[in-house]
Amino acid sequence: MKSFAIISLLATTLSVVSKTFAAPDPNFHIYLAFGQSNMYGSGDIEEQDKTVDSRFQMVSTVNDCGSRKLGTWYDAIPPLATCDAGLGPADYFGRTLVETLPKEIKVGIAVVAVPGCDIQLFEKDNYQNYFPDDWMYPFIDEYGGNPYGRLVEMGKQAKELGVIKGILLHQGETNNEQTDWPLRVKAIYENLLTDLELKAEEVPILIGELVQLSENGTCGAMNAIIQTVPSVIPTAHVISSEGLKQRGDGFHFTSPSYRVFGQRYAEVMLDLLKDTTPVNDECFSVSLGYPCCQKTTKVVVVDEDGEWGAEDGNWCGLKANPNPECFSIKLGYPCCQNTSDVILTDEDGKWGAENGDWCGINN
């Protein structure tokens, strides 16, 4: 009752078809993050940070970072930028999202950040005129000498897999008190929207404040300028750093502060996503170009996407188990309605028989 003679052939065929023609998953929400050292991650990575829900993914934006390879997705265990990075706000941004959003939604992050950099490094038509300190070049070289270009490259790859939902920024210490900074951020944001064919109303930018003056932040006065960004970018949202402690250098937050900061970024994004619901959350196959099964509940193949059946000579996705307490549903057999007599017990559960067919007995 649970064996299929052609399961190996079907599984192979389905794997090839789904990987060749799979459309971007509307339930994979991806975010681009950029900036300087705080976005790069300057906090100590502690034991509590080393495990993460696999629904939160990161893409390696650099090559030869341990086992990580450029453009490949991994569970979002820090560091998220380069191998030398630490904990940053992006870490608990993603963790908070997956804790809160429906379980069908995955979250991805692409972090491109360079410690100490001027905003000029991300200006598409001006980065080549930026001459940083010598110590900064190895960081820039990890992004092929063009961090903005690498961010766009990652964005284009991300769009093949999911939907870009927002952009995160933390930068400004190097541009402290420069009143043209909001306009320069606007130009970068608009370039990203253009180069990635995104709409501002669908992809907001979230910008974090620097260490506050009240916390002895060296560049705390820049926050007054950061707070003006929404006046020039209507889809910008400023994330407060009020009360967040710093490491003692006047620039960088502590690890506990990065965790809270990331949660604050996420809370703003969650408010913007409050109408977000999974796309056809009972039938995963629609996003892959296949219909939901209408007549059958029998599982033919199970792969990383879900449980597949077949109808009218075509693959179809099986909807979520309508009775999770009855194991036999996912195997294509009904729950026993009028009997509790156990005829057979196997690795799946207890089986009875009704109307000449097997049925599952609830525990």
Greatest alpha-carbon pair distance for the chain in Å reads 80
The residues annotated as belonging to the active site are 37, 249, 252
Residue with tokens 């390879």: 69
CA dist., res. 210 & res. 269, Å (int):
19
H-helix or E-strand spanning residue 191: helix 181-195
- Shortest CA distance to 260 belongs to which of 275, 276, 274, 245? 245
Give the total residue count for the chain.
363
| Phi, psi values for residue 104, rounded to 5° | -75, -15
Residue for token digits 């409050």? 274
CA–CA separation, 112 and 31 (whole Å): 11
Three-state SS at 96: helix
**Cα–Cα distance measured from residue 94 to residue 358, given in angstroms and rounded to the nearest whole number:** 44
